[in-house]
Amino acid sequence: MTPLVRAIAVAAPLPSLGDNTGDLDRLKKVLAPQLGGGMPVVPYQRLSKVAVRFRAAGFAGAAIINDMAGTPVLVDFLSQPPKVLAGMALDLGTTHLEATLLDLSTGAVLARADLENGQIRFGADILTRIHHAAKDEGLAELHAAIIDSVNQLATELAGRAGLAAVSEIRALSVSGNTSMVHFFLKLNPCHLCREPYIPMVNAPDPCLAGELGLAIHPAAVVWLLPSVGSYFGGDLISGVLASGLDQQPETCMLIDVGTNAEVIVGNREWLIACAGAAGPALEGGVARMGMRAGPGAIEHVRIDPTTGEIGYETIGKGKPKGLCGSGLIDLVAELYLTRQIDIRGKFRPQAAGERLIAGSEGYRFVVVEGKDAADGQPVVLGQVDLDALMRSKAAMY
Amino acid sequence: MTPLVRAIAVAAPLPSLGDNTGDLDRLKKVLAPQLGGGMPVVPYQRLSKVAVRFRAAGFAGAAIINDMAGTPVLVDFLSQPPKVLAGMALDLGTTHLEATLLDLSTGAVLARADLENGQIRFGADILTRIHHAAKDEGLAELHAAIIDSVNQLATELAGRAGLAAVSEIRALSVSGNTSMVHFFLKLNPCHLCREPYIPMVNAPDPCLAGELGLAIHPAAVVWLLPSVGSYFGGDLISGVLASGLDQQPETCMLIDVGTNAEVIVGNREWLIACAGAAGPALEGGVARMGMRAGPGAIEHVRIDPTTGEIGYETIGKGKPKGLCGSGLIDLVAELYLTRQIDIRGKFRPQAAGERLIAGSEGYRFVVVEGKDAADGQPVVLGQVDLDALMRSKAAMY
Other Cβ atoms less than 10 A from the Cβ of A308: the count is 14
- ipTM, two decimals: 0.81
Q: Which of B24, B51, B200 sits opposite A23 (nearest CB)?
A: B200
**Pairwise pLDDT comparison (A147 vs B258), residue with the higher score:** A147
Sign of the C-alpha dihedral, residues A32, A34, A37, A41?
A: negative
Determine which helix (DSSP H) or strand (DSSP E) holds B318, and give its type and residue range. none
Instruction: Name the CA dihedral angle for A43, A47, A50, A52, rounded to a multiple of 10 degrees.
Output: -170
pLDDT, position A383: 93
B22 has a chain A CB within 8 A of its CB:
yes
Q: Is A47 within 8 Å of B202 when comparing Cβ atoms?
A: no
Q: Is B44 within 8 Å of A197 when comparing Cβ atoms?
A: no
Residue A366 predicted with pLDDT over 60: yes
Percentage of residues in chain B having pLDDT higher than 70 = 97
β-strand B169-176 against B221-224: which pairing, if any?
parallel
C-alpha angle B18-B24-B30 in degrees, rounded to nearest 5? 70
**Pairwise pLDDT comparison (B393 vs A332), residue with the higher score:** A332
pLDDT, position A38: 85
Which residues, listed in sequence order, are joined to residue A300 by a DSSP beta bridge? A313
Lowest mean pLDDT among A43-52, A205-214, A253-262, B166-175: A253-262
B201 has a chain A CB within 8 A of its CB:
yes
Query: Within 13 Å, how many C-alpha atoms sit on residue B221's CB side?
Result: 28
Short-list B272, B268, B208, B204, CA closest to B234: B204
pLDDT tens, position by position, for chain B (397 residues)?
Answer: 789 999 999 999 999 988 989 999 999 999 999 998 889 999 999 999 999 999 999 999 999 999 998 899 999 999 999 999 999 999 999 989 999 999 999 999 999 999 999 999 998 888 889 999 999 999 999 999 999 999 999 999 999 999 999 999 999 999 999 999 999 999 999 998 888 889 999 999 999 999 999 999 999 999 999 998 777 888 889 999 999 999 999 999 999 887 778 899 999 999 998 877 776 666 666 677 888 888 999 999 999 999 989 999 999 999 999 998 889 999 999 999 999 999 889 999 988 888 999 988 899 999 999 999 998 999 999 998 888 787 776 654 4
A126, A199 Cβ separation under 8 angstroms: no
Q: Is B22 within 8 Å of A211 when comparing Cβ atoms?
A: no
Q: Which of B197, B202, B230 sits opposite A25 (nearest CB)?
A: B202
Domains present along chain A, CATH in parentheses: 5-78 (3.10.20.880), 86-236 (3.30.420.480), 288-393 (no CATH)
pLDDT, position B396: 46
pLDDT, position B71: 92
Find which of A17, A20, A227 to mutate to test the B interface (most B CBs within 10 Å of its CB).
Answer: A20
Find which of B17, B20, B29 to mutate to test the A interface (most A CBs within 10 Å of its CB).
Answer: B20
Percentage of residues in chain A having pLDDT higher than 90 = 74
How far B19 CA lies from chain A's nearest CA (Å)? 9
DSSP-H helix ranges across chain A: 23-31, 44-56, 126-133, 138-161, 178-184, 209-212, 234-243, 279-285, 325-337, 349-352, 383-393
pLDDT, position A230: 72
B298, B314 Cβ separation under 8 angstroms: yes
Which residues, listed in sequence order, are joined to residue A271 by a DSSP beta bridge? A266
Number of Cβ pairs closer than 8 Å across A and B? 127
A264 has a chain B CB within 8 A of its CB:
no
Q: Which of B43, B45, B47 sits opposite A201 (nearest CB)?
A: B47
Q: Is B20 within 8 Å of A55 when comparing Cβ atoms?
A: no
B211 has a chain A CB within 8 A of its CB:
yes
Q: Is A51 within 8 Å of B17 when comparing Cβ atoms?
A: no
Question: Which amino acid, residue B171?
Answer: A
pLDDT, position B279: 65
Short-list A260, A299, A293, A292, CA closest to A276: A260
Q: Is A17 within 8 Å of B196 when comparing Cβ atoms?
A: yes
Q: Would you list the DSSP string of B323-363?
A: E-HHHHHHHHHHHHHTTSB-TTS-B-HHHHGGGEEEETTEE
pLDDT, position B339: 94
pLDDT, position B284: 64
Short-list A334, A325, A330, A321, CA closest to A370: A321
pLDDT digits (tens, 9 = 90+) for A155-191: 999 999 999 999 999 999 999 999 999 999 999 999 9
pLDDT, position B131: 92
Residue A84 has what DSSP assignment?
Answer: -
Short-list A84, A141, A142, A146, CA closest to A115: A146
**Pairwise pLDDT comparison (A51 vs A276), residue with the higher score:** A51
- How sure is the predictor about A361, in pLDDT bands with cuts at 50, 70 and 90? confident
> Quick one: closest CA in A to B53, which residue?
A200
Axis-axis angle for helices B383-393, B325-337 (nearest 10): 100
Other Cβ atoms less than 10 A from the Cβ of A271: the count is 17
- Cα–Cα distances in Å, from A321 out to A291, A367, A388? 8, 11, 20
pLDDT digits (tens, 9 = 90+) for B54-87: 999 999 999 999 999 889 999 999 999 999 999 9
Short-list A345, A326, A325, CA closest to A335: A345
pLDDT, position A285: 63
How far B222 CA lies from chain A's nearest CA (Å)? 11
Residue A92 phi, psi (nearest 5): -95, 85
Residue A310 predicted with pLDDT over 80: yes
How far B397 CA lies from chain A's nearest CA (Å)? 9
3-state DSSP assignment of residue A67: strand
Which residues, listed in sequence order, are joined to residue A130 by a DSSP beta bridge? none
- CA pair distance A182, A132, nearest whole angstrom: 13
Determine which helix (DSSP H) or strand (DSSP E) holds B17, and give its type and residue range. none
- Cα–Cα distances in Å, from A168 out to A4, A76, A152? 14, 12, 15
- How sure is the predictor about A390, in pLDDT bands with cuts at 50, 70 and 90? confident
Instruction: Name the CA dihedral angle for A131, A135, A140, A142, rounded to a multiple of 10 degrees.
Output: -30
Which residues of chain B lie closer than 8 angstroms to A200, CB-CB? Answer: 22-24, 47-48, 51-52
Axis-axis angle for helices A23-31, A44-56 (nearest 10): 90
Q: Is B205 within 8 Å of A44 when comparing Cβ atoms?
A: yes
B210 has a chain A CB within 8 A of its CB:
no
Question: What is the average pLDDT score of chain B?
Answer: 92
A41 has a chain B CB within 8 A of its CB:
yes
- How sure is the predictor about A228, in pLDDT bands with cuts at 50, 70 and 90? confident
Determine which helix (DSSP H) or strand (DSSP E) holds A309, and give its type and residue range. none
B45 has a chain A CB within 8 A of its CB:
yes
Q: Is B188 within 8 Å of A48 when comparing Cβ atoms?
A: yes
Highest mean pLDDT among A349-353, A367-371, B216-220, B307-311: B216-220
Average pLDDT value for residue range A74-80: 97
- Strand order through the sheet with B322-323: B310-314, B297-303, B322-323
pLDDT, position B17: 86
Query: Prior bond to B3 cis, omega within 30?
Result: no
B134 has a chain A CB within 8 A of its CB:
no
pLDDT, position B85: 97
pLDDT, position A259: 73
pLDDT, position A397: 40
Q: Is A55 within 8 Å of B191 when comparing Cβ atoms?
A: yes
Residue A279 predicted with pLDDT over 70: no
- Cα–Cα distances in Å, from A181 out to A85, A175, A230, A235? 25, 8, 11, 10
Q: Is B24 within 8 Å of A200 when comparing Cβ atoms?
A: yes
Q: Is A186 within 8 Å of B227 when comparing Cβ atoms?
A: no
Find which of A42, A54, A71, A202 to mutate to test the B interface (most B CBs within 10 Å of its CB).
Answer: A202
Q: Is B203 within 8 Å of A25 when comparing Cβ atoms?
A: yes
B193 has a chain A CB within 8 A of its CB:
no
- CA pair distance A247, A305, nearest whole angstrom: 47
Average pLDDT value for residue range A9-37: 94
Question: Which amino acid, residue A332?
Answer: V
Q: Is A44 within 8 Å of B188 when comparing Cβ atoms?
A: no
Residue A396 predicted with pLDDT over 50: no
Query: Within 13 Å, how many C-alpha atoms sit on residue A166's CB side?
Result: 14
Q: Is A47 within 8 Å of B17 when comparing Cβ atoms?
A: no
Average pLDDT value for residue range A201-220: 97
Which residues, listed in sequence order, are joined to residue B77 by a DSSP beta bridge? B63
B42, A205 Cβ separation under 8 angstroms: yes
Residue A120 predicted with pLDDT over 60: yes
A58 has a chain B CB within 8 A of its CB:
no
Terminal alpha carbon distance of chain A: 30
